[in-house]
């Protein structure tokens, strides 16, 4: 089915997120809505069951005095209760303020205070303690609702069930109150405040309206690529706009979602859940690619030779298909054989039923996408940012170009400014930054377009290609421009042991790099090379590991222009993590933090 550019759906969208949810409950009442882990098993609920629970919780929020557009925080990892809390806030007419569970106490207090949250849902004791430690700074916060019932204190903290009981009493007196509130929410009312994890200064709260989230889901629904029979696996942080837009898409399309936010369980869960699609950040695909490649290499012999030959054949077939050329009979026969021997096993690692993956939140290397595609796994890369409700463009299963982020959603406009910046316009663009008028003015042009800060280009077919962040582009002292993301992504596609590769060299006479290795991948290498038992720091200082990485850097340099080549590099003694403050919760590198933390080391490259 070709991509649908028709914008007629804009005239018939649900009025708001609450109505979108309640309509879905009525339309798909007895179909599965969500499933989630309970101990070792998975529990499933229908749309009717989810709807009943959400109504009770929403009524509980109304009983606590929540008024239109007042903020309610959620400090939790991705889990079923997060979804319930968010939908309850929507149906009560409030606005959800998201807080990553990894956010420190001071920033949590800042977010809750800046957004003037009246109520906050917390996952556990650690999230509750952040609020307790700063309670004096949060005069608007009147109640905390804990997902863990043991934390309820009969006063400031109540449990989820106690909130439902308040809702039951409220509904006994006013049985239509939730529906009345839902119908009264206007499309331009505030739905969420999502604080960007910014790399400098305090985070900025992005004000996203109901019409923006509804638009996102309905734009995907209009493509007819997802329906009630699909099954999503959702692990992404719901505090991130990518997670939230997948929920909006679910409400629009009606598919079921299996939810488990534990990143270390993704591979196991895919085998159990067997989803038809999943959204993920590129790092997940990089790790999966590296794991499969290194495991095969460790087996060696005939298996490795068959594996390499399979991908040679798969790549050749792909190139012919994408060029619209016929595939010779002999190549077809080889491909069918390798599909049975190799590619089917790769697909089985992801459950065996995936129609496509959606990649977002950072750039996906085209070589990684092509590798998966050769194995019969389609990764549709999309593009957007928190400031436009996560989605602006996406590739389509029947109209895609690897290395691009696809064509604009129907109803979305994309233009390239004179300096190459990608700018967006449409119903999904934010209403501004909360309490930050100056920052809002900087982000929105005089004629109402969102400045993304990304550099890109549109091809003749309207496919958008992102070529880098404008602020990340730098010029060497020789006057040559360098785009770090392109070089960094290329290295990670070449080196299966790499976790991060960060390029520097602004106003310097050559390019340098800091490298980190994937702890699991390099531990696997160590076990196969007589170095088991060595910790990460010992391994990165090992001569054999240094030689291993040096070889991959040489391979990288062979693919670069002379002025882009990496002349000096260093392995860091630790991988970057969210906890260290060097990665955002969506797994993006905080480049300026890494640069500041290693300023002396970088300076030594040039000293």
Answer for the pair 221, 248: CB distance below 8 angstroms, yes or no: no
Bridge partners (DSSP) of residue 145 are: 121, 158
CA-to-CA separations, 70 to 98, 141, 191, 206, 247, in angstroms, rounded: 13, 11, 10, 15, 21
SS3 call for 21:
helix
| Whole-number Å distance between alpha carbons of 528 and 586 | 32
* 73-104 per-position pLDDT tens digit: 999 999 999 999 999 999 999 999 999 998 88
* 543-593 per-position pLDDT tens digit: 999 999 999 999 999 999 889 999 999 999 999 988 888 888 777 888 888
Q: For the purposes of burial, counting CB atoms within 10 Å of the CB of 305, is it exposed (0-12), middle (13-18) or buried (19 or more)?
A: exposed
Report whether pLDDT(2) > 60. Answer: no
Rounded to the nearest 10°, the torsion over CA 355, 468, 212, 232 is 20
pTM of the entire structure?
0.87
Lowest mean pLDDT, pick from 131-140, 329-338, 448-457, 464-473: 464-473
Average pLDDT over residues 529-553: 93
| Whole-number Å distance between alpha carbons of 458 and 465 | 6
Q: What is the pLDDT of residue 511?
A: 94
* 450-506 per-position pLDDT tens digit: 999 999 999 999 999 998 888 888 888 888 888 898 899 899 999 999 999 999 998
Q: Which domains does the chain have, with CATH numbers?
A: 8-276 (3.40.50.12780), 282-352+354-421 (no CATH), 474-605 (3.30.300.30)
Pairwise pLDDT comparison (566 vs 324), residue with the higher score: 566
Report whether pLDDT(1) > 50. Answer: no
Q: What is the pLDDT of residue 88?
A: 98
Say what percent of the chain tops pLDDT 70.
99
Answer for the pair 22, 179: CB distance below 8 angstroms, yes or no: yes
Which runs of E-coded beta strand occur in 178-255? 190-195, 205-209, 231-234
* 287-315 per-position pLDDT tens digit: 899 889 888 888 888 889 999 999 999 99
Report whether pLDDT(366) > 70. Answer: yes
* 24-78 per-position pLDDT tens digit: 999 999 999 999 999 889 999 999 999 999 999 999 999 999 999 999 999 999 9
Q: What is the DSSP string of 381-416?
A: EEE--GGGTT-SEE-BTTB--TTS--EEPTT-EEEE
| Strands 356-359, 277-280: pairing kind | parallel
Say what percent of the chain tops pLDDT 90.
80
Task: Identify the DSSP state of 339.
Answer: I
Of the pLDDT bands very low, low, confident and very high (cuts 50, 70, 90), residue 198 is low
CA-to-CA separations, 465 to 1, 269, 455, 486, 560, in angstroms, rounded: 23, 32, 9, 12, 19
Of the pLDDT bands very low, low, confident and very high (cuts 50, 70, 90), residue 3 is low
Angle at 472 between CA 466 and CA 478, to 5 degrees: 110
State the chain's mean pLDDT as an integer: 93
Which runs of E-coded beta strand occur in 254-344? 256-259, 277-280
Q: What is the pLDDT of residue 123?
A: 97
Answer for the pair 455, 422: CB distance below 8 angstroms, yes or no: yes
């Amino acid at each position: 089915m070709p991509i649908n550019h028709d914008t007629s759906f804009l005239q018939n969208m649900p009025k708001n997120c609450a109505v979108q949810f309640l309509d879905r409950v009525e339309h798909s009442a007895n179909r599965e809505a969500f499933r989630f882990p309970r101990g070792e098993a998975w529990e499933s609920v229908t749309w009717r069951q989810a709807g009943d629970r959400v109504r009770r919780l929403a009524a509980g929020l109304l009983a606590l005095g929540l008024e239109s557009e007042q903020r309610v925080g959620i400090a939790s990892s991705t889990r079923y209760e997060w979804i319930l809390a968010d939908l309850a806030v929507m149906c009560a007419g409030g606005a959800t303020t998201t807080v990553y569970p990894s956010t420190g106490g001071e920033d949590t207090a800042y977010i809750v205070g800046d957004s003037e949250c009246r109520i906050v849902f917390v996952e556990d004791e650690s999230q509750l303690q952040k609020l307790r430690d700063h309670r004096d700074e949060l005069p608007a916060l009147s109640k905390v609702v804990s997902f863990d019932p043991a934390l309820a204190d009969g006063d400031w903290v109540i449990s989820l069930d106690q909130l439902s009981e308040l809702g039951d009493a409220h509904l006994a007196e006013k049985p239509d109150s939730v529906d009345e509130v839902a119908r009264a929410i206007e499309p331009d009312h505030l739905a969420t405040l999502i604080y960007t994890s910014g790399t400098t200064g305090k985070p900025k709260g992005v004000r996203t309206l109901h019409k923006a989230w509804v638009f996102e889901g309905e734009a995907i629904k209009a493509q007819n690529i997802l329906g009630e029979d699909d099954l999503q696996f959702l692990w992404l942080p719901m505090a991130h706009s990518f997670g939230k837009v997948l929920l909006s898409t679910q409400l629009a399309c009606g598919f079921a979602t299996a939810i488990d936010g534990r990143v270390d369980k993704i591979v196991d869960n895919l085998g159990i859940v067997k989803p038809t699609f999943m959204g993920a950040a590129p790092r997940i695909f990089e790790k999966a690619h590296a794991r499969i490649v290194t495991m095969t290499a460790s087996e060696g012999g005939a298996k490795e030779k068959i594996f390499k030959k399979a991908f040679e054949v798969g790549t050749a077939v792909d190139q012919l298909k994408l060029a619209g050329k016929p595939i010779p009979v002999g190549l077809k026969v080889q491909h069918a054989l390798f599909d049975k021997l190799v590619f089917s096993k790769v697909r089985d690692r992801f459950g065996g039923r995936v129609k496509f993956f959606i990649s977002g939140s950072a750039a996906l290397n085209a070589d990684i996408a092509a590798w998966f595609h050769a194995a019969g796994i389609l990764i549709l890369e999309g593009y957007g940012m928190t400031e436009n409700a996560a989605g602006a463009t996406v590739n389509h299963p029947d109209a895609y170009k690897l290395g691009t982020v696809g064509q604009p959603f129907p109803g979305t406009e994309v233009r390239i400014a004179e300096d190459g910046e990608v700018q967006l316009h449409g119903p999904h663009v934010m209403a501004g930054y909360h309490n930050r008028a100056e920052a809002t003015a900087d982000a929105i042009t005089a004629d109402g377009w969102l400045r993304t800060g990304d550099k890109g280009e549109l091809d003749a077919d309207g496919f958008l290609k992102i070529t880098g962040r404008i602020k990340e582009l730098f010029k060497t002292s020789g006057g040559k421009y360098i785009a770090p993301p392109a070089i960094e992504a290329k290295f990670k596609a070449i080196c299966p042991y790499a976790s991060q590769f960060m390029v520097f060299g602004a106003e310097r006479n050559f390019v340098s790099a800091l490298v980190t290795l994937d702890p699991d991948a390099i531990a696997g290498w160590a076990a196969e090379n007589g170095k088991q038992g060595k910790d990460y720091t010992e391994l990165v200082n090992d001569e054999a590991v240094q030689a291993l990485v040096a070889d991959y850097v040489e391979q990288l340099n062979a693919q670069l222009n002379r002025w882009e080549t990496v002349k000096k590099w260093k392995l860091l003694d630790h991988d970057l993590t969210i906890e260290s403050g060097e990665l955002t919760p969506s797994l993006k590198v905080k480049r300026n933090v890494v640069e500041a933390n290693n300023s002396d080391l970088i300076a030594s490259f040039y000293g």
